[in-house]
Structures are given as structure tokens and as C-alpha cells.
Chain A
């Protein structure tokens, strides 16, 4: 019964994610789009918690799919232009393919690193520091771009 209930939660989160994505595309509201991707991530997290316990090797491919979905969703939520040049479409497709490949590579690397590192307080602390550092780098780059642009 519990497994059935947890499966229902996963299905509910998946449905919620799709619904939010549809709303975001219809209203061009990027906050809802972000929320839909987060709900999808939550659904995957619940799915993993219910899983067999080993590392899911499909995660890099899922990351690639998610980043491609995010790119397409954010493109669709932009105000519609009157006309689009072919060169722009071609470049966007190439960029999307490279992003997918990059996401697979980054995901694989992350899983390899996660599998090879022993678990411990120090490692967890390093993980937290790495996560904070990653976000800090984005923030610093953003502020620098604002100043120099």
C-alpha cells in the first residue's frame, strides 16, 4: 500500500510538473516555468528515494533532457518575434546539441566523482562548500557582467 501511495506521489508530481509547464508556456511566466522544472527535479528525487539504492546511471541523460527542455521552454516563453532568420535557428539547434552533450559529460563526471569519494563529515562539508562556491561564481560573474557591460 505504501509503495502504491509513493508511486502515486511520483505520478502526481510528474502531472504537476507538466501542468505548470503548460501554464508557463501559455502565460509566458518564467517563474512558473522554473517551478515546473523544480517540481520535475522533486519528482526525480522521490523516485530515487523509492529506488533500489544504487546510483542511477541514467541521471546524466536525464540532466541532458532536462536542460534541453529548459532551453526550449525559456525560448518559448520569450516574446514572439515577427520573423526569425534561418541562421539563428541553425545556431540555436547546434547550441542545444552541444548543451545536451555538455550536460551528459558534466553529469557523468559528477557521478564518477560522487562514486569515488568516501562518505564522511569532511566530504560533506566539501560538498556544501563546492555547491556554495558554484552559486557564488555565478553571482560574481553576473555582478561583473552588470558592471562591465
Chain B
């Protein structure tokens, strides 16, 4: 507890001193009457003052929420020794705002009194937060002495990003060995018809295509594509971000990551992620609901950390990028290190898809000929960059305000349908 005297004590003492002195010098008893209360109040206040003693409890309605959700924060104050004037502030991160209730609030607590305060909070932005640090400032009845202290009752609050609408997922080029929902390119036991071939000893009779066999006079069997799962790696570029008015490309990346992860995991695919930037973070691919929670919890810690060191894909552990995995890169394409790493991945034979989180909506409107021309050059350079990816068979879909994530993914699907994907 930090104790201090308020400026009021000094002010009153000064008025009393000057008033009494002036009364003596000027021989005016009225000034004594005028100054005496200013000496009397501090004397009385200091005699009666005593430090408050409180039990503080803070709690949140729940520890998980989605962007835009509202939840209650409760504060319970029990006064072992009351306080005539108490300021209470529940420290909130910038992403949380009070929509109902007062924070900070000033109140009076008598001895033994219990007060419960409630504030309705809105979660404006995804992230992992600690909420519950309470700052208190008590004053004596005359406001002459103040005591400041804080109660740390922090509890974690995870705010998940909202999911983007994803109509159709990207189909991976290669599949893994476990059963799943993707039609594999290989042939084997499955549902999707692949081809016909002559019967060989050991083939099951139920695979014989009797119509084809009758036509050709020999036994022919059907071949199928098996349904397999895939490994999906979400590659989030966290070198730099473009942001404006509380929104940023990183928000888009996180939103897309969680939406895609949820959808792929529902399809029994193994999903992992890599955040590649100033700080490296990864999660090995796995499947199931637990992986979803692990992934979101890890993604919530994603931050842009400025770093000037050159980083390439070699810094990533080998197991984070399994062979035959489809790598979906979510990047604003603003940092050369990320671009270089992605091209490196493609060269190494990964099935790479780039979803460009367009920084254009976050830029100010160009004013004047110079800025307009500059913007055009910038857009041309970005087009050229996209061209570099397309040249090596990597589709680049732009996700901006005009085009939703679904549209961007459909662009990628269309590119892959009509372009021949080079295999490493």
C-alpha cells in the first residue's frame, strides 16, 4: 500500500498559516475565524484517518469467448476496515471495452460492508488475455490522505476469432495413408471409380465389371480411388502486418487459420501450423477436436515481433512440414523473407497455395498525382510478385474486402483445375 498526502492537505495548511499570520499582522480577528476551519479540518481529518483493509475478488463469467461476445466481469469488495472514498479500477486490455457498468467507479464502503460490482464487457479482438488486476485508491473522509494498492486476481480469458465462411475446401494434391474424405490419386479400395484393368488372380469377385467383361470376352475388374486424409499445414506470415483502425492483416490470417483448421479437422485431416516471422511458433500436425483447441490456443499468442534477421525455411523443424502436406500460406506478401521461404517450400516439392491477405484496404487513399502514380507502381510490383508464384505453379488468391475467403479459395481451386501442377 502506498500512502500519500493529497494536495488538499497542503492547500488547507497554507491557507490556515497565511490566514492566521495575516490576522496577527493586520490585527483582524475575523481572519482568524476565516482561517481556523482550514486548520481544524486537517487536524480532525488526520486524527480520524485510518488505512482501509479490503478483501477483493474478481471473476469473469467464462474464460472463453468469441470476438464480439459480451460477458460479465464481477468484483466483490469486502471491507474489513471501511473507506470513506474508494476508487476501484479493473484493468482491462485494449481489446475489451465496458458496455454496461462503470469502470472505474468511486464508492463508499462502511466497516464490514460487502459490495458486488458488475461490468459488462465486449470482446472486440481475438487474443489471450489476463483479466482481474484491480487498482484501488482509498481516501479518508476529508480527502487529505490517500492509500493506493492493487489486488492481482488475474484469470485467463481467451477470445477466439470469428470464423469465416468457407464453402469449399481446397483439395490437396497428395493424400496420406489414413482413411479420410479426400479422393486419393492412387488406386485402391474405395468408392470413386478410377479405371478398368484385366483380372489377375487374387482380385475380389465383387470388383469384376461384368458388363465390360461380357463385352470383351475376358474378366475385367474395376479400380477405385481410395478415400484418404491429408496433412494440411497453415503457414502464417508474421513478419509484418498492415493495420488500420483496429483491423490488421494478422486478424485476417488468424480468422482464416481457425476457419480452415476447423473445417479440415472435421474432415479427419491432420492439421498443423507454422507462424513464420520475428518469432517462430509451430504445432505438429494432428487430428481431432483436441488439436483444434491446441491450435487455437497457440494461434492466440501470435504477435508481430519485429526482427531484422534473415530467416529461411531451414530454421523450421523437419517434422513441422511433413512430405506430401498441402501448405496453405496466409501472408500479406510484404516481407521478402516470407516470400523467399514460400518459394523455397515450392522448390522443395510442397503443394503450396498462397492466400494473399491484401494490405490494400489498410492503406490510406492516395492524394495527388505522385501518390496515385506511386500506388500504381506498388500494385504493379505486387502483380509481378504474384506472377513469380504463378510461374512456379503456385496459385495466389487475393483476400480483401471485395473478395471473401470463400471466393479466394475458389480462385485457387479454379487455378489448379486449369493449370498443370508441376510435381517435384
Interface residues of A (CB under 8 A from B): 30-31, 33-34, 37-38, 41-42, 44-45, 48-49, 55-56, 59-60, 62-64, 66-67, 70, 74-75, 77-78, 81-85, 87-88, 91, 95, 99, 102-103, 106-108, 110-111, 114-115, 119, 124, 127-128, 131, 134-135, 137-139, 141-142, 144-146, 149
With A74-B11, A135-B16, A146-B3 known as contacts, the answer to whether A107 contacts B102 (CB < 8 A) is: no
With A82-B102, A82-B104, A95-B141 known as contacts, the answer to whether A114 contacts B15 (CB < 8 A) is: no
CB-defined A-B contacts under 8 Å, sample of 24: A30-B11, A37-B11, A45-B28, A48-B31, A55-B29, A63-B33, A64-B37, A67-B41, A74-B7, A74-B8, A81-B105, A106-B40, A107-B37, A110-B32, A110-B33, A131-B23, A131-B24, A134-B20, A134-B43, A141-B43, A142-B5, A146-B5, A149-B50, A149-B51
Residues on the B chain within 8 Å of A102, using CB: 37, 40
Residues on the B chain within 8 Å of A49, using CB: 26, 28
> Would you call B108 and A149 a contact (CB within 8 A)?
no
- In the bound assembly, the distance between CA atoms of A95 and B27 in angstroms comes to 32
The distance from the CB of A89 to the nearest CB of chain B, in whole angstroms, is: 9
> Would you call B14 and A85 a contact (CB within 8 A)?
no
Determine which of A41, A87, A131, A142 lies in contact with B9 in the assembled complex, contact meaning CB atoms within 8 Å.
A142
Q: Which of B85-134 contact A (CB under 8 A)?
A: 85, 87, 89, 101-108
Size of B's binding interface in residues, CB under 8 A: 62
The distance from the CB of A92 to the nearest CB of chain B, in whole angstroms, is: 8
> Would you call A87 and B107 a contact (CB within 8 A)?
yes
> Would you call A70 and B38 a contact (CB within 8 A)?
yes
Residues on the B chain within 8 Å of A124, using CB: 24
Determine which of A38, A85, A142, A145 lies in contact with B18 in the assembled complex, contact meaning CB atoms within 8 Å.
A38
- In the bound assembly, the distance between CA atoms of A106 and B30 in angstroms comes to 11
The distance from the CB of A103 to the nearest CB of chain B, in whole angstroms, is: 4
The distance from the CB of B73 to the nearest CB of chain A, in whole angstroms, is: 14
Residues on the A chain within 8 Å of B35, using CB: 41
**B199 CB-CB contact with A under 8 Å:** no
> Would you call B31 and A131 a contact (CB within 8 A)?
no
**B39 CB-CB contact with A under 8 Å:** yes
Residues on the B chain within 8 Å of A33, using CB: 11
The distance from the CB of A14 to the nearest CB of chain B, in whole angstroms, is: 15
> Would you call A137 and B31 a contact (CB within 8 A)?
no
Residues on the A chain within 8 Å of B32, using CB: 110, 114
What is the chain A residue whose CB lies nearest that of B40? A106
> Would you call B20 and A31 a contact (CB within 8 A)?
no
Determine which of B13, B22, B85, B143 lies in contact with A74 in the assembled complex, contact meaning CB atoms within 8 Å.
B143
> Would you call A103 and B37 a contact (CB within 8 A)?
yes
Determine which of A63, A78, A91, A119 lies in contact with B108 in the assembled complex, contact meaning CB atoms within 8 Å.
A91
- In the bound assembly, the distance between CA atoms of A82 and B100 in angstroms comes to 12
> Would you call A60 and B33 a contact (CB within 8 A)?
yes
Residues on the B chain within 8 Å of A135, using CB: 13, 16-17, 20, 39
What is the chain A residue whose CB lies nearest that of B87? A81
The distance from the CB of A17 to the nearest CB of chain B, in whole angstroms, is: 13
Residues on the B chain within 8 Å of A115, using CB: 29
- In the bound assembly, the distance between CA atoms of A63 and B366 in angstroms comes to 64
- In the bound assembly, the distance between CA atoms of A20 and B136 in angstroms comes to 32
> Would you call A59 and B24 a contact (CB within 8 A)?
no
Consensus secondary structure, chain B interface: helix
Residues on the B chain within 8 Å of A55, using CB: 29-30
- In the bound assembly, the distance between CA atoms of A145 and B9 in angstroms comes to 12
Interface residues of B (CB under 8 A from A): 1, 3, 5-24, 26-43, 46-47, 49-51, 84-85, 87, 89, 101-108, 141-143, 145, 147
- In the bound assembly, the distance between CA atoms of A41 and B12 in angstroms comes to 13
What is the chain A residue whose CB lies nearest that of B50? A149
The distance from the CB of B149 to the nearest CB of chain A, in whole angstroms, is: 12
The distance from the CB of B380 to the nearest CB of chain A, in whole angstroms, is: 51
- In the bound assembly, the distance between CA atoms of A81 and B86 in angstroms comes to 10
With A82-B103, A106-B36 known as contacts, the answer to whether A131 contacts B21 (CB < 8 A) is: yes
Determine which of B24, B34, B42, B107 lies in contact with A41 in the assembled complex, contact meaning CB atoms within 8 Å.
B34
The distance from the CB of A149 to the nearest CB of chain B, in whole angstroms, is: 4
> Would you call A83 and B15 a contact (CB within 8 A)?
no
What is the chain B residue whose CB lies nearest that of A100? B37
> Would you call A67 and B28 a contact (CB within 8 A)?
no
Residues on the B chain within 8 Å of A103, using CB: 37, 40
> Would you call A83 and B104 a contact (CB within 8 A)?
yes
What is the chain A residue whose CB lies nearest that of B8? A74
Most buried by B among A87, A134, A137: A134
What is the chain A residue whose CB lies nearest that of B103? A82
Residues on the A chain within 8 Å of B22, using CB: 41-42, 45
What is the chain A residue whose CB lies nearest that of B145? A145
Determine which of B14, B37, B47, B103 lies in contact with A63 in the assembled complex, contact meaning CB atoms within 8 Å.
B37
Determine which of A66, A88, A138, A142 lies in contact with B106 in the assembled complex, contact meaning CB atoms within 8 Å.
A88
Please name 19 further chain A to chain B contacts, defined as beta carbons within 8 Å, in addition to the given A95-B141, A103-B40, sorted by A numbering: A30-B10, A34-B15, A41-B19, A41-B34, A45-B28, A48-B30, A49-B26, A70-B38, A91-B141, A99-B37, A106-B37, A107-B36, A115-B29, A138-B13, A138-B42, A141-B42, A142-B5, A142-B9, A145-B46
